[in-house]
Copies of this chain bind each other. A is one copy, B any other.
Amino acid sequence: MTEVSFDIFIKQNGKTILSPLYVSLLQEIEKSGSLRIATKRLGISYQHLWQLVKEINISAKEPLIIKKRGGVGGGGAILSQYGKILLNEYSIIEKQIIKFQNQLNTEINL
């Protein structure tokens, strides 16, 4: 069985603002708000996570992630309004891409 798949990237002024890894991070933050849980789910270190948050926030035209002060749970973060809009738009685009991908896969002959 031969199948086509895609890694999706969204760039703003040449800078990557959404990659598969960035999307996973934003989705985890949206779901749990806990950075500790996000590191576990993504299998990355805290240091790597902070690096990603920094990269994402300076790449997009507005920050996507807002950090919250640490507490018992090791600190948290939420999506900014623009982060929510972006992730929502991404879901819409992703649906179109999956539809296109499914159609391509019915035509592929390899």
A: residues with CB less than 8 A from B are 1-13, 17, 85-86, 89, 93, 96-97, 100, 104, 108-110
Q: How far is the CB of A92 from chain B (nearest CB, A)?
A: 9
Known: A85-B110, A89-B109, A100-B100. A10 touches B1 (CB 8 A): no
A3, B11: Cβ atoms closer than 8 Å: yes
Contact for A110 among B12, B96, B100, B110, CB less than 8 A: B12
| Distance, CA A93 to CA B100, complexed state (A) | 11
B104, A96: Cβ atoms closer than 8 Å: yes
- Counted per complex, copies of this chain come to 2
Q: How far is the CB of A97 from chain B (nearest CB, A)?
A: 8
B12, A2: Cβ atoms closer than 8 Å: yes
A93, B104: Cβ atoms closer than 8 Å: yes
Contact for A7 among B3, B9, B86, B89, CB less than 8 A: B9
Known: A86-B110, A89-B109, A109-B89. A10 touches B4 (CB 8 A): yes
